[in-house]
């Protein structure tokens, strides 16, 4: 059964939080999963937070996705031993996520590899609105290195939606291709009754 993740916003320094999480898990002998949203390719910032980032508060707020069990342990730690170095601002249970991709590949030999990567998506991830097309233009032969014209071009676009951890891993896999543009994952949250403001 897939893990249940919660998006938690901390007011804390990133390095402090990373050290705390590593030490906390080691000390408790747990192995809960967590991701810093920025590192995982997850869209986590509102316009207001972007403005704060541009005006020097970039390291003040950290968005993390963590398994529910880890969140509850950290919440209890914060209640038992309050610290000015870390404060939980909000916590929202994640239902799923989705991201869109565009592919523009002019190397014929790489097309099958790209198609295979998309075909091998996890079972918990579904494809929405997928379109792909291979085009050939014999007139463009020999000039494709330096112009927008290509003898061969594979184009594709679509959206993928599903369980969060599988989606993060899948996005990282397909985004590794230089000809694939993968947008950040947009989170879909459980109903408002599940939102917890702290």
pLDDT digits (tens, 9 = 90+) for 60-89: 889 999 999 999 999 998 888 888 888 999
**What's the pLDDT band for 45 if we cut at 50, 70, 90?**
low
Residue 118's pLDDT is 98
Contact 5, 67 (CB under 8 A): yes
Residue 143's pLDDT is 52
Share of the chain above pLDDT 70, in %: 82
Residue 56's pLDDT is 52
Residue 197's pLDDT is 45
pLDDT digits (tens, 9 = 90+) for 105-151: 999 999 999 999 999 999 999 999 999 999 987 765 655 555 566 68
pLDDT digits (tens, 9 = 90+) for 5-31: 999 999 999 999 999 999 999 999 999
Asked if the model's pLDDT at residue 49 lies above 60, the reply is no
Domains in the chain, CATH or no CATH each: 5-94+191-197 (3.30.70), 97-189 (3.30.70.260)
Residue 141's pLDDT is 61
What is the Cα–Cα distance from 149 to 140, expressed in whole angstroms? 6
Asked if the model's pLDDT at residue 34 lies above 80, the reply is yes
């Amino acid at each position: 059964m897939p893990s249940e993740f919660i998006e938690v916003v901390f007011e804390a320094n990133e390095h402090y939080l990373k050290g705390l999480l590593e030490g906390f898990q080691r000390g408790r002998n747990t192995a809960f999963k967590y991701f810093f949203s920025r590192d995982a390719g997850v869209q986590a910032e509102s316009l207001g937070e972007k403005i704060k980032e541009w005006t020097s508060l970039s390291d003040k707020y950290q968005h993390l996705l963590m398994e529910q069990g880890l969140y509850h342990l950290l919440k209890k730690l914060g209640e038992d031993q309050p610290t000015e170095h870390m404060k939980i601002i909000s916590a929202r249970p994640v239902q799923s996520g989705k991201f869109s991709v565009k592919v523009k590949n002019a190397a014929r030999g790489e097309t099958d590899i790209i198609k295979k990567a998309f075909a091998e998506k996890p079972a918990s991830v579904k494809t929405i609105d997928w379109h792909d097309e291979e085009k050939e233009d014999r007139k463009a032969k020999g000039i494709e290195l330096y112009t927008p014209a290509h003898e061969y071009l594979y184009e594709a676009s679509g959206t993928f939606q599903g369980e969060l951890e599988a989606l993060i891993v899948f996005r990282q896999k397909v985004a590794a291709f230089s000809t694939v543009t993968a947008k950040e994952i947009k989170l879909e949250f459980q109903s408002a009754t599940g939102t917890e403001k702290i």
